[in-house]
Amino acid sequence: MLSPLVLVVFFSFGSNQNATFPVGALTLDWYRVLFKNPEFWVGLKNSLVITVSVGVLSTVIGTCAAMGITKLKSTKANTVISALSLPIMMPPLVLALALVSIYSGLGIRMGVHTVIMSHLVFTQPFVIVIVNAQLANFNFASVDSARDLGASPMRSFFDIVLPNIRPTIIGAALIAMAISLDDFIITFFTIGNGMTLPTLIWGMMRTSLDPSINALGTLVLFATIGFSAIALRITKYQS
């Protein structure tokens, strides 16, 4: 499963133009080419804004929802979780086109903000599932004890619940960010004329056989894999 990805990394440091063996001499040329490309910096900025916003928003919304879900009866909780997870199952193309249709139908200008909104719908289920799984193991008697000792509901959340699920929340946020950064189809359709790193890759793949694509691919790869690897580490892959 790893090897195709390793290849991309490999080629990004090789001097061979055609991304075939032999790789050629070790070089950082493709990264230099990439960094001279102004589009790269535009895409990077947009990707950063989108990834961070989606990470923060979906984590807050998802954690609230997970808290709410733990208060429901288990059958109802399962129904809510399955319903909220439907967007993951939906082919991204269909979701993207539906979103584009409604944005243009309502006359909403598309850009980075519409991408952020659109990403929320399929990143929040991941946060909900991950946080909910952790809360299922959480002993709510300790919250009751805190309340009994005089803590307000808010206070008891920040003092008791949050410290216990903090790693999970950070993990969930990183997963949401990795998914957001990884998405191409929905971003492509909902960003209007804008550009992110994945759409830049798309453009490069279609137009040229520019080996700096390997360099860009490697960067995106390390970012998403980095996020998820750290996330899995902290959450100890509970989900």
Footprint on residues 49-68 left by another protein (CB under 8 A): 60-62, 64-65, 67-68
- Residue with smaller CB distance to another protein, 74 or 139: 74
Residue 72 binds to another protein (criterion: CB under 8 A): yes
Q: Which of 117, 151, 170, 234 binds another protein (CB under 8 A)?
A: 117
The encoded tokens of residue 26 equal 């070790």
Residues 6+ apart with CB under 8 A from 37: 212
Cα–Cα dist 15/30, whole Å: 8
Q: Counting Cβ atoms within 10 Å, is residue 81 exposed (0-12), middle (13-18) or buried (19+)?
A: middle
3-class SS shares of the chain: helix, strand, coil, % to 5: 75, 0, 20
Single-letter amino acid code for the residue at 107: G
Q: Given the rule CB under 8 A, which of 24-32, 82-90, 142-150, 159-167 is the region that contacts another protein?
A: 82-90
In the region spanning residues 22 to 41, those forming contacts with another protein, defined by CB under 8 A, are: none
Q: Given the rule CB under 8 A, which of 24-32, 35-43, 161-169, 197-205 is the region that contacts another protein?
A: 197-205
Residues 6+ apart with CB under 8 A from 109: 192
Contact track, another protein, 203-232, x by CB under 8 A: --x-------x---x--xx--xx-xxx--x
Residue 193 DSSP label: T
Q: How far is the CB of 209 from another protein (least distance, A)?
A: 10
Q: How far is the CB of 237 from another protein (least distance, A)?
A: 6
Residue 158 binds to another protein (criterion: CB under 8 A): no
Whether the CB-CB separation of 116 and 54 falls below 8 Å is answered with yes
Q: Which of 56, 201, 210, 234 binds another protein (CB under 8 A)?
A: 201
